[in-house]
Amino acid sequence: MLQDRDKLQSDPRAESWRDTAPAGSGPSQTTVDASQLPKQAIVTLRRIEAGGPFPFEKDGIVFGNRERLLPPHPRGFYHEYTVPTPRARDRGARRIVCGGPRRQIDNCFYSDDHYVSFKRIAGLTSG
């Protein structure tokens, strides 16, 4: 389960995939510890883990990774979720994209610039 922000521990599985990927296999990734995410992102992660409910109709749709900024996987592997932005009139630019089975949060990435860049979220466990 998603632990309290203050109790989050670094998860060695959440280290940058570039550290284990062969040279030239894709873009490098940086990480962000879950405790450093905005509180709205923590709420979104809890909703992902619980299977919803989600506040936006497009939450949970397939993320195509057309920008090729995330590790390559077949279409349907990644799903995107909105991280609400305070005072935004629309969905805003912040997203969490998770790979693998739904409700699993140990392979998620955070973007605060509408997919221009991603950071792998460290310090999470599914359970």
What are the C-alpha distances in Å from 61 to residues 38, 48, 75, 120? Answer: 22, 12, 11, 19
pTM of the model: 0.77
- Domains annotated for the chain, with CATH where assigned, are 27-107+116-122 (3.10.450.30)
pLDDT given at position 25:
40
Catalytic residue positions, numbered: 80, 114
User: What does the pLDDT average to over 97-113?
Assistant: 96
**36: phi then psi, degrees, rounded to nearest 5:** -95, -5
Question: Which of the two residues, 76 and 23, has the higher pLDDT score?
Answer: 76
Condensed to tens digits (0 to 9), the pLDDT of residues 41-86 reads 999 999 999 999 999 999 999 999 999 999 999 999 999 999 999 9
Find all residues with CB under 8 Å of 90, minimum gap 6, and list them.
Answer: none
